[in-house]
Amino acid sequence: MRAWLALLLVCASAGAQQARSGLDFMGPATQAMQRDDSQNPAMLWLHEGQALWHRPEGRDQRSCMSCHGDASQSMRGVATRYPAFDTASQGPLNLSQRILQCRVQRQRAAPWAPESEPLLSLETYVAQQSRGLPIAPSDDPRLAPFTARGQAAYTRRIGQLDMSCAQCHDGAWDRKLAGNPITQGQATGYPIYRLEWQGMGSLQRRLRNCMTGVRAQAPPFGAAELVELELHLAQRARGLPLETPAVRP
């Protein structure tokens, strides 16, 4: 009896540690939608992103292509390492912030608004170059304090419902909320095409969604708190394959 209980406990803790992508929790129709490029609606954004990669912009009329060349070579693996440390601002930058920084400082073009269609498109195109590669967040020690703050935020109770991310996504991920799987909240395929949104959205949009869900005040797009949370989520998802562009219900 005691041996049984011990075995059960071992299984339970192993189950809790096993990282599982949200893809595992979806119905077969939604999974097929993500896996088949001719059904995946995110391909509309991907093709737009590809066009933007080649389009000359800004004061010097330079395109991403002019400096970085073929994205399938130069951008392969890049998205698996983000958010990354930026020496100029002495802080972390996520992929869309890095794209914007490049756009403003190198192309000398007007910045895009956060969550705007061109920004999501280009981010999708860049991230898709790493599709299938394991998520491998940077071990830069300068990121450590930011990641630690993200981890603390992940376990901090917030909002009128007084709930933390960890309570659902670590403690109850194998259960359901209003009939829908809760999932581990692994950020493996952003930007995602979310059926509920009927469009593309970033990880920050998803995080703000969840915060509004527990009736907390969500920080604005690009806020340091959100990027810190992204850093912790990247550490949590370490080793899972990147799925961009993913489809989620």
- We find the least distance from the C-beta atom of residue 244 to another protein, in angstroms, to be 17
Q: Rounded distance, CA 120 to CA 245, Å? A: 11
**Of 192-231, which residues contact another protein (CB under 8 A)?**
195, 198-199
Chain-centre distance for alpha carbon 89: 21
30 contacts another protein (rule: CB under 8 A): no
Q: Do residues 153 and 232 touch, judged by C-beta distance below 8 A?
A: yes
Q: Rounded distance, CA 105 to CA 110, Å? A: 10
Q: Do residues 191 and 200 touch, judged by C-beta distance below 8 A?
A: yes
Q: Which of 17, 18, 38, 90 binds another protein (CB under 8 A)?
A: 38
Q: Which of 31, 43, 106, 170 binds another protein (CB under 8 A)?
A: 43
SS3 of 77, please? coil
Of the residues 64, 165, 168, 210, which is catalytic? 210
Place of tokens 């990282």: 19
Residue 93 phi/psi, 5-degree rounding, is -125, 135
Chain-centre distance for alpha carbon 166: 17
Q: Rounded distance, CA 121 to CA 42, Å? A: 9
Q: Which of 8, 11, 27, 39 binds another protein (CB under 8 A)?
A: 39
**Of 46-85, which residues contact another protein (CB under 8 A)?**
47-48
Place of tokens 């394991």: 134
- We find the least distance from the C-beta atom of residue 68 to another protein, in angstroms, to be 23
Q: Do residues 191 and 124 touch, judged by C-beta distance below 8 A?
A: yes
- We find the least distance from the C-beta atom of residue 180 to another protein, in angstroms, to be 18
According to DSSP, the β-strands at 192-194 and 180-181 are unpaired
249 contacts another protein (rule: CB under 8 A): no
- What residues pair up with 248 in beta bridges, in sequence order? 194
Which of 38-46, 78-86, 100-108, 211-219 is the region at the interface with another protein (rule: CB under 8 A)? 38-46
**Is residue 210 annotated as part of the catalytic site, yes or no?**
yes
44 contacts another protein (rule: CB under 8 A): yes
In the complex with another protein, which residue's Cβ is closer, 43 or 158?
Answer: 43
- We find the least distance from the C-beta atom of residue 234 to another protein, in angstroms, to be 29
In the complex with another protein, which residue's Cβ is closer, 49 or 92?
Answer: 49
**Of 164-183, which residues contact another protein (CB under 8 A)?**
none
Indicate which residues carry an active-site annotation: 210
Residues lying near another protein in the complex (CB under 8 A): 38-39, 41, 43-44, 47-48, 195, 198-199
